[in-house]
Amino acid sequence: MTTETLLERDFGLIPELIGAHARTRPAHPALVEGAGQLSFGELDLAMDQVAAALQRDGLLVGDVIAIGAATSLSYALVFLGALRAGVAVAPLAPSSSADSLVAMLRDCGAKLLFADASFAATLASASTLGTRAEALATLPAAVTPIALDGSAVGRTLESWLAPAGSQPQPVSIRPNGVFNIIYSSGTTGVPKGIVQPNLMRWAHVRRGADIGYGPDAVTLVSTPLYSNTTLVSFFPGLALGGTVVLLRKFDAETFLQTAVRHGVTHAMLVPVQYQRLLDFPAFDSFDLSRFRMKFCTSAPFGAALKAQILARWPGGLIEYYGMTEGGGTCVLAAHLHPNKLHTVGQPAPEHDIRLIDEAGRELPRGEVGEVVGRSALAMMLGYHEQPDKTRDAEWYDAAGRRFIRTGDVGRFDEDGFLTLLDRKKDMIISGGFNLYPSDLEAELVLHPAVAEAAVFGVPSRQWGETPVACVVRRTGHDDSAEQIRAWVNERVGKTQRLSALELVDSLPRSAIGKVLKRELRDRYAAAAGDTL
C-alpha cells in the first residue's frame, strides 16, 4: 500500500508509513545524528527487531515501556519499534527529580526501562540513594533496565534486540489505544501522566502534508525527544518520508551549522531558542534559504521576537497554541498575518475554542475568560490512573461535548484571533484588581537594559498579593534594580506597580524553555522571609 493511500484513511499507523517508505525508498536517509545515520530500509528492519524482542519478552498491545535518556538514534529506534508492536511509550525526562522518576515508573506500569547514563546519574544525585548501582536498585521490581548507550544501566540494547531479520507477529491497534504517556513538567511531586491515543498522533501526521513535510523535507530536532513539543514535529517529519536530523543538545552555533550542512527545511523551536539564535553574532552569515517553515510552541512568544524572525530568517513561521492534553489548538501563520503577532492565532480547522468564566459559563467574544478547547481527533484520553484530576481538566458545553481546560486566560478580538493574557494560576489579584504578569513582562523588556523578565505574585499584608520581577540584564548594561523598577513603574498603572525587582544571572527554565515561576517564587519567599 502506498503512502498516499495510507494517508487517505481516517486512521492509520506511523510504522505502516515507515514500512511503505522502506519499500519504495530504502536508501533514503530517515534519521541522522552526528556521524550516525539510518536509512528507511535500515530503520524498518531495526524496528522489527525491537518489536520482536518486546513480544519475545511477553509485552502485549497496550503494555508500556519507559524511555529515560537524552536524544539519540537508539532512543528513536526503540520508540518507533515499540509502536510497531502496539506497545505504548512513556518518555521520561532525566532532568526530573530522582523521586519523580521512580514515581513515574510506578505510575505508568512500565515493564522495561530503556535508559542511559544521564538517567542513572539523576537517580544517584539524590543523597539518600548513594551510588548509581544502589540508585538503580530502587526502581520498581517489575522494571527491567536496558542501556541505550552501553553504560552500566543494565543489559545492552544490542544484546537485548531480537536477531537481525526477526519478524514481529502482526498486531491489531485501535484508534483509542494508548500511543504514549507524556508526563507533565512538574518539578516537585508526581507529574500527571497525559495519555494520548493513536488517533491523536495520526492527526498530527496527516496535517503535516499541508505545511510542507514530505519526502524532500529535512527536519532538525533540537528539543528533547521526551517532550510533546518535539514529537509533534518528529513524527510528521519522519512518517511523511523526510529526513529527521537529531541534535543531542542545543546550542546556537551547532544548530546553524547543522541546518546549513543538511539543507534543513523545517524546525520546531521554543522561544528562548529563537532568541539565542538571533542573538548569535554570526547568525546573518548563515545560508538558511532552504527553510520552508519554522514552528514554535510551549512558551509565550513575544510579538517583537516574531517580527525579528520574519525579517531575518527565510521561510514561514507558525505558532501553535495548545496543550499536551490536546483539546483545541490555535494556529498563527505569522508570515501571513504580520499585524496579529501579539496573538496566538485562530482556532485550527475543526477545533473549537471557547472562553468561560469562574462559574463555567461561556463568555461572548471580547470578554476575558479561561480558554477551553476540543477537537474530534486531538484529545487526551485522560490523566493516567487519576480520574479526579481528569475530571478537573474537563468542561462540558450545553450539548454535553467534552472540552479540555487550559488554565490560560485570554480574549478573542473582532477577527477571531486569540490573545493570551496569562496563566490563570499566575494571575495576581492585588487590592481586588486582576494583574497579568505578561503585561508587566512585556513592558519590562522594552527597557534597553532588560534581556529577559519574569513577574510573579507574592503575599502582601496590604494588598493580598503584589507583583515582583526577576530581570536578566543585557551584556554591557549596569542599570540598577531600583532604576529599572522605577522606570517600569512610571509606565504602568498604579495598581500594576512592582513592589520589588531583583537582578538575576538567568531565569530557571524547563528542558523546553518554560520559565519556572514557581521556583522563582519559592526562592524569593525563602529570601524575603516575610510578606511585603
Residue 276 falls inside a structural domain: no
Residue written as grid cell 477545533:
351
Q: According to the model, what pLDDT value does residue 530 have? A: 52
The answer on 482 and 346 residing in a single domain is no
**What 3-state class would DSSP assign to 388?**
helix
Q: According to the model, what pLDDT value does residue 3 have? A: 86
Residue written as grid cell 514552528:
295
The C-alpha atoms of residue 362 and residue 190 are separated, in whole angstroms, by: 32
Tell me, what CATH number does 402's domain have?
2.30.38.10
The answer on 190 and 68 residing in a single domain is yes
Among 32-41, 120-129, 233-242, 301-310, the least confident range = 120-129
* 350 Rama sector, left if φ>0, alpha if ψ -120 to 50, beta otherwise: left
The answer on 12 and 94 residing in a single domain is yes
Residue 142 has pLDDT above 90, yes or no: no
The answer on 343 and 475 residing in a single domain is no
Instruction: Record the cell numbers describing residue 338, joined without a space.
Output: 504580520
Instruction: Record the cell numbers describing residue 356, joined without a space.
Output: 468561560
Q: Measuring CA to CA, which residue among 319, 313, 316 is closest to residue 340? A: 319
The answer on 73 and 16 residing in a single domain is yes
Q: What is the mean pLDDT of residues 476-501?
A: 94
Residue 494 has pLDDT above 80, yes or no: yes
The answer on 438 and 349 residing in a single domain is no
DSSP string, 436-476: -HHHHHHHHTTSTTEEEEEEEEEEETTTEEEEEEEEEEPTT
Cβ atoms < 10 Å from Cβ of 151: 17
Q: According to the model, what pLDDT value does residue 199 have? A: 97
Burial 175-192 (b: 16+ CB within 10 A, else e): eebbbbbbbebeeeebbb
Q: Are 370 and 409 a contacting pair, CB within 8 Å? A: yes
Cβ atoms < 10 Å from Cβ of 485: 20
Q: Are 41 and 26 a contacting pair, CB within 8 Å? A: yes
The answer on 369 and 509 residing in a single domain is no
Q: Which amino acid is at 215?
A: P
Domain that holds residue 503: 427-528
Residue 79 falls inside a structural domain: yes
The number of folded domains in the chain is: 3
Tell me, what CATH number does 467's domain have?
3.30.300.30
pLDDT digits (tens, 9 = 90+) for 409-425: 999 999 999 999 888 88
What pLDDT band is residue 484 in, cutting at 50, 70 and 90? very high
Q: According to the model, what pLDDT value does residue 493 have? A: 85
Q: What is the mean pLDDT of residues 352-373?
A: 95
The answer on 30 and 155 residing in a single domain is yes
The answer on 157 and 11 residing in a single domain is yes
Q: What is the mean pLDDT of residues 4-15?
A: 93
Residue 48 has pLDDT above 90, yes or no: yes
The answer on 448 and 499 residing in a single domain is yes
Q: According to the model, what pLDDT value does residue 191 have? A: 79
Instruction: Record the cell numbers describing residue 514, joined without a space.
Output: 518554560
Element counts in the chain: helices (H) and strands (E):
17, 27
Tell me, what CATH number does 16's domain have?
3.40.50.980
Residue 489 falls inside a structural domain: yes
The C-alpha atoms of residue 149 and residue 266 are separated, in whole angstroms, by: 28
Angle at 519 between CA 480 and CA 508, to 5 degrees: 65
The answer on 90 and 11 residing in a single domain is yes
Among 423, 440, 468, give the residue marking a domain's end.
Answer: 423
The answer on 40 and 156 residing in a single domain is yes
Instruction: Record the cell numbers describing residue 322, joined without a space.
Output: 495548545
Residue 254 falls inside a structural domain: no
Residue 113 falls inside a structural domain: yes
Q: According to the model, what pLDDT value does residue 480 have? A: 97
Q: Name residues whose C-beta falls within 8 Å of residue 81's C-beta, 6 or more positions apart in sequence.
A: 46, 47, 48, 49, 50, 51, 53, 54
Q: Measuring CA to CA, which residue among 494, 499, 461 is closest to residue 482? A: 499
The C-alpha atoms of residue 287 and residue 260 are separated, in whole angstroms, by: 6
Q: Measuring CA to CA, which residue among 195, 176, 164, 178 is closest to residue 83? A: 178
Residue 293 falls inside a structural domain: no
What pLDDT band is residue 129 in, cutting at 50, 70 and 90? very low
Among 206, 240, 262, give the residue marking a domain's end.
Answer: 206
Residue 189 has pLDDT above 90, yes or no: no
Q: Are 380 and 195 a contacting pair, CB within 8 Å? A: yes
Residue 252 falls inside a structural domain: no
DSSP code of 33? E
Residue 249 falls inside a structural domain: no
Among 392, 423, 454, give the residue marking a domain's end.
Answer: 423
Sign of CA dihedral 106, 109, 115, 118: negative
